[in-house]
Copies of this chain bind each other. A is one copy, B any other.
Amino acid sequence: MFYLTVDILGTISFAISGVLVAMDKKLDVFGVFIIAFVTAVGGGTLRDILIGNTPVGWMQDPIYVFVIFGAVIFGILFRKRLKYFRKSLFLFDTIGIGLYTMVGVEKGLSAGLLPIMCIALGTMTASFGGVIRDILCNEIPVIFRKEIYATACILGGASYFLLRKLPIEDIYAYIGAILIVIGIRLFAVVFKVSLPNIYKVEQ
Chain A contact residues, CB within 8 Å of chain B: 22-23, 25-32, 34-35, 45, 49-52, 54-56, 59-60, 62, 65, 76, 79-80, 111, 113-114, 116-117, 120, 131, 135-141, 143-146, 150-151, 194-202
Contacts and interface: CB of A to CB of B under 8 A. Distances in A.
Number of copies: 3
A192 B50 CA distance: 38
B144 A31 contact: yes
Contacts of A120: 59, 65
Given A54-B52, A55-B51, A198 B138 contact: no
Contact of A28 (B25, B135, B196): B196
27 contacts: A22-B144, A23-B198, A23-B199, A25-B144, A26-B200, A27-B144, A27-B145, A30-B143, A30-B150, A30-B151, A31-B141, A34-B144, A45-B50, A49-B49, A49-B54, A50-B54, A50-B55, A52-B54, A59-B117, A60-B113, A62-B116, A76-B198, A79-B198, A135-B135, A137-B140, A138-B138, A138-B139
